[in-house]
Amino acid sequence: MARKKIALIGAGNIGGTLAHLAAKKELGDVVLFDIAEGLPQGKALDLSQCGPIEGFDARITGTNDYADIAGADVIIVTAGVARKPGMSRDDLLGINLKVMKSVGEGIRTHAPDAFVICITNPLDAMVWALREFSGLPKNKVVGMAGVLDSARFATFLAWEFETSVKDVNAFVLGGHGDTMVPVLSYSTISGIPVLDLVAQGRSTKEKIDEIVKRTRGGGGEIVALLKTGSAYYAPATSGIAMAEAYLGDQKRILPCAAYVEGKYGVDGLYVGVPAMIGADGIEQVIEIDLTDEEKSNFQVSVDAVKELLEACKGIDESLK
């Protein structure tokens, strides 16, 4: 059986980390694409030389030519820019929308059968634009945000309850921004609702509220510390978990920006919901009962995503 092929569009911080993880896990051969000449080739060469030490045979190549992504099984998109001081949200939206146009067209021409995972921000709008520009089926294009936001939430909960992260099941829905919704009512430690543990006096409502707030600002906290860019280790790890779910037909239920039609009162929008990932891509969107407060927070988040989409349509005529 031929090896799988993983194409990574964007060979920056997340792209390089994705390449390393994909090769180390032998998910398949890796093609790193970037518009910067030399960057993907240099990273590919460097990463290839990890092979003899780590014992992987995955081939890693770098390219500036979309033709080299032909036949990719999975494509993970991180191309674009991250927000820097002094840049408005609209600046980022405009720049990355143009990037999604070229990436979408490259995928449409060279790898229309791939499962595509978008990581570029602003996530909920960019995954929507990527789907539009690539023309791929909606179940084959998905955004990564919920896995990362949930991992941040789970990390903070594990620290608070001094428990293994392995026992924490926490998740975050909604858009990937300040309005994201950490869903406490479905967050458990070894099956025990976090709220029950609070009722037992193992933590306090104030501390949990603080964790929810820290989760929402989790990306910004890292940007403020790094100063020159945004998080990349955990974002890459999250993207790889989604790729593995698809390649292994694992039927994992992961929070991700999936296309929602009808469920959650949402009609035709990419937004963070629990979704099953298997060999058909996004195989199901799973609806859960939310508390009244969570429902209204989710609606605020959906409205914020809609606003972003309108801004996208205002920028690019072809999206109207």
Which strand (E) or helix (H) includes residue 142? strand 141-143
Minimum CB separation from ligand A3D for residue 99, in Å?
4
Closest CB 10 distance from ligand A3D, rounded Å? 4
Decide if residue 120 touches ligand A3D (CB under 6 A).
Answer: yes
Q: Which residue has the tokens 């991992």?
A: 151
231 binds ligand A3D (CB under 6 A): yes
**Which residue lies nearer to ligand A3D by CB, 144 or 173?**
144
Decide: is 218 part of the binding site for ligand A3D (CB under 6 A).
no
Q: Closer CB to ligand A3D, residue 80 or residue 182?
A: 80
Query: In angstroms, what is the minimal distance from the CB of 245 to ligand A3D?
Result: 17
For residues 37-96, which are near ligand A3D according to CB under 6 A?
Answer: 39, 78-82
CA distances from 261 to 24, 70, 216, 240, 297 (A): 37, 30, 25, 26, 19
Stretch that binds ligand A3D, among 19-27, 144-152, 275-283, 294-302 (CB under 6 A): 144-152
Residue 178 backbone dihedrals phi, psi, to 5 degrees:
-60, -20
Q: Which span sits near ligand A3D by CB under 6 A: 46-54, 113-121, 200-208, 277-285? A: 113-121
Q: Give the C-alpha separation, 144 to 240, whole Å.
A: 10
Helix (H) / strand (E) containing 110: helix 89-110
Residue 316 has a CB neighbour count (10 Å cut-off) of: 17
Which residues does 126 contact at the CB level (< 8 Å), separation at least 6? 80, 96, 97, 100, 118, 120, 143
State yes or no: residue 174 binds ligand A3D (CB under 6 A). no
Residue 15 contacts ligand A3D per CB under 6 A? yes
Q: Whose Cβ is closer to ligand A3D: residue 13's or residue 48's? A: 13
Q: How far is the CB of 203 from ligand A3D (least distance, A)?
A: 26
Query: By C-alpha distance, which of 183, 180, 173 is closest to 275?
Result: 173
Residues 192, 288 contacting (CB under 8 angstroms):
no
C-beta of 78 vs 188, nearer to ligand A3D: 78
Of 28 and 80, the one with the shorter C-beta distance to ligand A3D is: 80
How far apart are CB 309 and ligand A3D at their closest, in Å? Answer: 16
Q: Which helix (H) or strand (E) holds 53?
A: helix 51-54
We find the least distance from the C-beta atom of residue 55 to ligand A3D, in angstroms, to be: 26
Q: How far is CA 230 from CA 83, 193, 221, 226, 298, in A?
A: 8, 32, 9, 7, 25
76 assigned binding-site residue? no
Of 119 and 269, the one with the shorter C-beta distance to ligand A3D is: 119
User: CA nearest 190: which of 207, 212, 165?
Assistant: 165
Q: Does 183 bind ligand A3D (CB under 6 A)?
A: no
Indicate which residues carry an active-site annotation: 176
In 172-291, alpha helices (H): 194-199, 205-216, 218-226, 233-247
The CA distance from 55 to 51, in Å, is: 5
- List residues near ligand A3D by CB under 6 A: 9-15, 34-36, 39, 78-82, 99, 102-103, 119-121, 123, 144-145, 148, 176, 219, 229-232, 235
Q: Which residues are annotated as a binding site for NAD(+)?
A: 10-15, 34, 96, 119-121
